[in-house]
């Protein structure tokens, strides 16, 4: 809880107002905007959301990607003050090796093509 209170002060300079042009403004429909819906697991959970200017970079761990979306919760690892937000793209993410399970079970080399 102490660290959460510290983060409030650290992140205060990055808070955006409703007219400050957050990147989600152009594509997020009102019902898809973070905080706009009720949690499907806990209707009383506070889903309040405050948009931040995309100027900070963090490194996260994740279990799985589905398209351009993290599946399950991404986990904070560390701040990356050495990175510029513009340098962070989906192309840099590690991708699992794709293979056809039928080929593997049939004893065919999945890398053959």
Q: How confident is the model at residue 56 (pLDDT cuts 50, 70, 90)?
A: very high
pLDDT at position 57, please? 94
> What's the number of domains the chain is made of?
2
Containing domain of residue 79, as a range? 56-96
In a domain, 4, yes or no: yes
Distance (Å, rounded) from C-alpha 38 to C-alpha 48? 10
In a domain, 89, yes or no: yes
Mean pLDDT over all residues of the chain? 80
Q: Are 44 and 66 in the same domain?
A: no
Cα distances (Å, whole numbers) of residue 73 to 8, 39, 51, 63, 84: 21, 15, 18, 8, 23
Cα distances (Å, whole numbers) of residue 9 to 16, 58, 78: 14, 17, 18
Q: Are 44 and 62 in the same domain?
A: no
- Report whether 11 contacts 4 (CB < 8 A): no
In a domain, 103, yes or no: no
Q: Are 40 and 1 in the same domain?
A: yes
- Report whether 72 contacts 82 (CB < 8 A): no
In a domain, 105, yes or no: no
* Share of residues in the chain with pLDDT > 70 (%): 76
């Amino acid at each position: 809880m102490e660290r959460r209170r510290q983060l409030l002060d650290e992140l205060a300079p990055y808070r955006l107002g409703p007219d400050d042009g957050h990147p989600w403004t152009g594509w997020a429909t009102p019902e898809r905007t973070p905080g706009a819906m009720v949690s499907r697991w806990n209707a009383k959970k506070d889903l309040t959301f405050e948009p931040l200017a995309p100027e900070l970079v963090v490194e996260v761990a994740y279990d799985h990607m589905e398209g351009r979306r993290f599946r399950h919760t991404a986990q904070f690892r560390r701040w990356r003050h050495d990175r510029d937000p513009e340098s962070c793209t989906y192309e840099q993410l590690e991708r699992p090796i794709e293979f056809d399970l039928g080929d593997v079970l049939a004893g065919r080399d999945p890398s053959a093509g």
